[in-house]
Amino acid sequence: MTTALDKLRTWITADDPRIALSGVIFVAVVAGILVGALFGGLGPIIAMGLIGALVVGILMLRSTQVGLSALITLICLLPYGALPFTIGFRPTFLDLALGALFTVWGLRLITGRQRTFISSPLGMLVFIFQGWALFIFIFGLRYSGLNVTIARNFLEVLLSVSLFFLIINQVKTVEALNQISWIIMWAGGVASAIGIFFYFIPGDWAIRILSLLRVFQYPTEGILRYIEDDPEQPMRAISTSIDPNALGGLLVFLTIITVAHLLAARPIMPRRYLWLNAGLMLLTLYLTYSRGSLLGVVAGLGLMALLRYRKLVWLMLVAAALVALLPQTQLYVQRFIEGIQGTDLATQMRFGEYKDAFNLIERYPLTGVGFFGTPDIDVYVGVSSVYLLLAQQMGLIGVGLYLIIGLVYLGIVLVTLSRLPKGDLLEAPLLGYGLAILGAMVGGVFDHFYFNLTFIHIVALYWLTMGLGMAGVLLANQFLKFNPPNTLPFESRSVPARR
């Protein structure tokens, strides 16, 4: 049976050039009418965004590699963007990217294109953590009725944690791992450049430009942020993350991963571009004035220097000396000292939050109160520490599982790294993705973004990073299985794809 598509194909490929030309003109006219209607009805910005999203969506449904690239780009550049129209609710672009990724992976499992499920040495702990989170979600309903928004956000968090499994089942070659690393570093560099641009241009211009994102449900008020919310104080970098501390949390991952590849024996892109991206990220991190994020980056880079890249120690010392001595950085130094002493307003407010958090945890130590609120009117859920927030919501059991997963993961990565020869192809990914989690764990003492229903993009990046690190571990184990240490020259070694 001849379909309309077959007839159209026959028309535009006819031997008679006049008939073929008429077919091409017909297609062009119809396409022009559709595109014109789209632009006229929705406006040029929404129409172009919709066409671009459609193209990317089709590609994502064909490849998880494309889907992961799109997800990383959204995390860095448009983390809160949502559809400009409602379909009963307004799904974010992150929702759509996560949905497409898991749809493709699910279809591969159903159709038999992938016949195995890899859980990794860390898999059981992650499953238990997800199971406990789901139990606490249901358990918490006893204290409050079901809130659809919170339920949707919780589902997004569960999908974000499941990225760990998707990554280790789909990223099975060094080439695939390097492609994702390439996307992470360039997307992070662009996000940092945007943050610097908005920081230095006049404030009215920044507000006017960022207000254009209202089409994608971004806020239009209170866009610019200042130290202690005081416009008399210096402005803080926000990029498209809006919250400067959230941007700092994002940069913890991006900076450590980029520096690891910058100092690699054989970098995956020209070193000048890595210097550029690393410099942009460090400058943007500084301009966020996020002290917790800075400590996380220092912890990750410090251990990196001790493990492999000793010259990084000197770079860090030079950077510290410049910050301590330059007149332009004295305000930053002063705020850091005030934070340590607990004398500034922001730190004092955090101390108050910590005290209230301990009161709640003391009443509900093992299970917390769930994700919907508290049964007592004199306590509340919310604190600037991911560990105290987890203890409030999921109890000491939940925060204990979270810490154990992070520590076991770091142990696995570091043991694997110690077995690889220096300069190995997998050295930079293991250092970058391993120590990025260490940086987030240190930063998490002072920030709550790393497991928070409001900041889904950072939760997704946390578990995506952990998945990429574990993918590197599995590739390294495969490499060591076929190429025992000291048996082959470095240039002859190869890493077979995992099955």
- Tens of pLDDT along the chain (499 residues)? 456 656 656 665 666 666 656 665 665 565 556 555 545 555 555 545 554 555 555 555 567 888 899 999 999 999 998 887 777 778 899 998 998 899 888 888 888 777 788 888 999 999 999 999 999 999 988 877 778 889 999 999 999 999 999 999 999 999 999 999 999 999 999 999 999 999 999 989 999 998 888 888 888 788 889 887 888 888 999 999 989 999 999 999 999 999 999 999 999 999 999 999 999 999 999 999 988 999 999 999 999 999 999 889 988 898 888 888 877 778 778 877 877 777 777 778 888 888 888 999 999 999 989 898 888 888 888 898 999 999 999 999 999 999 999 999 999 999 999 999 888 899 999 999 999 999 999 999 999 999 999 999 999 999 999 999 999 999 998 877 766 655 544 443 455 555 5
Instruction: Please state the domain extents for the chain.
Output: 121-492
Tokens of 450: 């790393």
Tokens of 466: 């952990």
DSSP state of 486: T
Element (H, E) at 438: helix 427-443
Tokens of 66: 């494309």
Give the model's pLDDT for residue 124. Answer: 95
For tokens 């799109």, the residue is: 70
Element (H, E) at 226: strand 225-226
Residue 306 neighbours by CB distance under 10 Å: 11
Sign of the torsion formed by the C-alpha atoms of 267, 321, 250 and 288:
negative
What DSSP line would sit under 51-90, residue for residue? HHHHHHHHHHTT-HHHHHHHHHHHHHH-TT-B-SS-SSS-
Give the model's pLDDT for residue 11. Answer: 60
Do the Cβ atoms of 241 and 231 come closer than 8 Å?
A: no
Backbone angles phi, psi at 82, to 5 degrees: -130, 165
Tokens of 360: 């709640």
Specify the amino acid at residue 436: A
Task: Give the side-chain half-sphere CA count within 13 A for 65.
Answer: 12
Rounded to two decimals, the pTM is 0.86
Give the model's pLDDT for residue 153. Answer: 92
Looking at the chain, how many residues does it have?
Answer: 499
| Nearest partner of 70 among 180, 176, 163, 170, judged by Cα | 180
What DSSP line would sit under 463-484, residue for residue? HHHHHHHHHHHHHHHHHHHHS-
d(Cα 167, Cα 451) in Å, to the nearest integer?
19
Tokens of 353: 């939050």
Give the model's pLDDT for residue 18. Answer: 65
d(Cα 444, Cα 290) in Å, to the nearest integer?
12
Do the Cβ atoms of 45 and 215 come closer than 8 Å?
A: yes
Backbone angles phi, psi at 236, to 5 degrees: -115, 140
Cβ within 8 Å of residue 260, ≥6 positions away? 304, 428, 429, 431, 432, 435
d(Cα 302, Cα 260) in Å, to the nearest integer?
12
d(Cα 420, Cα 486) in Å, to the nearest integer?
10
d(Cα 113, Cα 212) in Å, to the nearest integer?
43
d(Cα 200, Cα 115) in Å, to the nearest integer?
53
Tokens of 347: 């730190």
Element (H, E) at 236: strand 235-236
For tokens 């789901």, the residue is: 134
For tokens 């590197």, the residue is: 472
